[in-house]
Structure 1
Amino acid sequence: MIAAWPTEALWLLTGAAAFAAGVLNAIAGGGSFLTFPALVFAGVPPLAANATSAMAVSPGYLGSVLGFRSELRSLPRALLQSEVSIAAVGGLIGAGLLLITPERVFAGLVPWLLLLATALFAAGPWLAKRQGGQGQAAWRLPGLMAVAIYGGYFNGGLGILLMALYTLTGEGRLNTVNALKNLNSFVLSLLSVAAFAVAGAIVWPQAVWMMALATAGGWLGARVAKRLPARWVRGLVIGTGLIMSGVFFYRA
């Protein structure tokens, strides 16, 4: 099936998937669901496709971070430094686990994690209002470590998990949630893909091509996200989470 496709068409497919993934990651998360299957369809083995996909979408997070500069500047520097450090450590731990653990063991948990994260994100505003934001911040950093490990191991659904975490820990400003999600996604992805590169798990020609387009998509997505009504962005996140959960349940 793959051989019937011209090489140029496969490069166009992976490039389009990377650009769309950058846009989607900036707005809602879930971009790896586009890049990973595109790479597999183009003939990249699944494990290498997973590592290459993580490499491809990581610069897109940088483009998104630049689009949310004002939101990040309004946050305490100490908070950003602590969260970036945790994201970096968690990303390295997750990448290490991927390189030493059979992928199918963790893959069985992925659809359940995605479904739980989507449900938590959907219920986040109600829970935050009901609890008054008290006591939730205590598990913000431990929760970030757990999500960062997940993201370093399997990037799919990372944005949705981060948005669920920040919503449940009392962050009510959706643009700020998006800014923090993109910043920490960029940091943990950068460290995890460095580990993949050292291990020789990345297919570089596709990775470089997709990185450039994902960065452009991330910049565009950040601009679009800031202009969309909050309820539209929230609906897109929930819809993406439900679709991804269904697909991964089907694949399991």
Structure 2
Amino acid sequence: MTDFILLILAGLGAGIINALAGGGTFLTFPALVFIGLPPVVANATSAVAVFPGYLAAAAGFRAEIGAIKRHDLIKASVVALAGGLAGAGLLLVSSNEVFSLVVPFLLLIATVIFAFQKQIQVALRDSRLKATPYGSVGLFLVSVYGGYFNGGLGIVLLALFALWGMQSLNQMNGLKNAMSFVISAISVAAFALAGIVEWREAAIMAVAAVAGGFIGAKLARILPDIVIRGGIIAIGLSMSVVFFARM
């Protein structure tokens, strides 16, 4: 019963956090490890658990997503699918030790990029290096990360969108949830075929994550940007510390 309650709370919280900013796997992944799943299996199960919540959250931002050109959305979705598949393949051949070693560095880098996004945007404008809006290279690399480790995917996507020059946080959140759904769809399929998903735990969390996704989408329209951004940075830094401590 204790495990059941923990899974419900982690799933609900993950759905809310993913809709607001990203980083919901910071709750589901540790919860699954806590109840005894190996890290790689816990990561695959966590990806399945938060997968439906992304769709629920994206639905809450359908107006913002609809404002994006259809061509750009289709292009981004195809690139995200390719990257997600590549990342899932990397996870399937990774050991638990390698996985645990790489994750904290990826989380910390993503959080720092998001925290200093304005300074980075200015630096990019003043240099020869430019981040092309809806560019394939950056999105592919981020999608590989998402397929490999879903934790912090939203933060990494938001950092990428900031480098693209996007200004509306609600539109960034909408596109983030849409791309997270696409990336997770292909990686979840790969994990399921490989047989590394614990379906009972995933199902419990998934139901809670869907409810959390709807709640989070509504909260995103109420909370000030500074609160959401501060929450993203706090979550990213906190989980980076946790994962570094586990090394």
Moved over 6 A (4+): none
Alignment partner, residue 53 of structure 1: 46
Alignment partner, residue 240 of structure 1: 235
Q: 2:107 aligns with which of 99, 109, 114?
A: 114
Alignment partner, residue 4 of structure 2: 11
Provide, for residues 55-81 of structure 1, a one-character-per-residue CA deviation record: whole Å limited to 9, x for no partner: 001111011100100000100000000
Alignment partner, residue 141 of structure 1: 136
Structure 2: distance between partners of 1:156 and 1:136: 24
> Residues 63 and 219 of structure 1 are in contact (CA less than 8 Å); yes or no, is this contact kept in structure 2?
yes
Structure 2: distance between partners of 1:138 and 1:175: 17
> Residues 120 and 168 of structure 1 are in contact (CA less than 8 Å); yes or no, is this contact kept in structure 2?
no
> Residues 23 and 219 of structure 1 are in contact (CA less than 8 Å); yes or no, is this contact kept in structure 2?
yes
SS of structure 2 residue aligned to 1:137: coil
Alignment partner, residue 128 of structure 1: 121
Provide, for residues 140-185 of structure 1, a one-character-per-residue CA deviation record: whole Å limited to 9, x for no partner: 3211111111111111111111111111121111111111111111
Tell me the amino acid that sits aligned with residue 101 of structure 2: G
> Residues 125 and 172 of structure 1 are in contact (CA less than 8 Å); yes or no, is this contact kept in structure 2?
no
Alignment partner, residue 189 of structure 1: 184
> Residues 40 and 95 of structure 2 are in contact (CA less than 8 Å); yes or no, is this contact kept in structure 1?
no
Matched, 1:221 2:216: yes
Alignment partner, residue 81 of structure 2: 88
Alignment partner, residue 92 of structure 2: 99
- RMSD of aligned alpha carbons: 1.7
Provide, for residues 67-123 of structure 1, a one-character-per-residue CA deviation record: whole Å limited to 9, x for no partner: 100000100000000111111111111111111122322432222222221111111
> Residues 23 and 221 of structure 1 are in contact (CA less than 8 Å); yes or no, is this contact kept in structure 2?
yes
SS of structure 1 residue aligned to 2:227: helix
Alignment partner, residue 76 of structure 1: 69
> Residues 140 and 166 of structure 1 are in contact (CA less than 8 Å); yes or no, is this contact kept in structure 2?
no
- Paired positions, count: 245
> Residues 76 and 134 of structure 2 are in contact (CA less than 8 Å); yes or no, is this contact kept in structure 1?
no
Provide, for residues 13-58 of structure 1, a one-character-per-residue CA deviation record: whole Å limited to 9, x for no partner: 1011011011011112111121112122223333221111110011
Pairs within 5 Å for 1:128-207:
128-129=121-122, 131-132=124-125, 135-137=130-132, 140-207=135-202
Q: 1:26 aligns with which of 19, 32, 36?
A: 19
What are the ranges of 5 or more consecutive residues in structure 1 without an aligned counterpart?
1-7
The TM-score with structure 1 as length reference comes to 0.92
CA 1:45 to 1:204, structure 2 compared with 1: closer, same or farther past 3 Å?
same
Deviation of 1:132 after TM superposition, in Å, equals 4.6
Alignment partner, residue 207 of structure 2: 212
Name whichever of 114-123 and 18-27 sits farther off: 114-123
The TM-score with structure 2 as length reference comes to 0.93
SS of structure 1 residue aligned to 2:221: helix
SS of structure 2 residue aligned to 1:227: coil
Alignment partner, residue 3 of structure 1: none
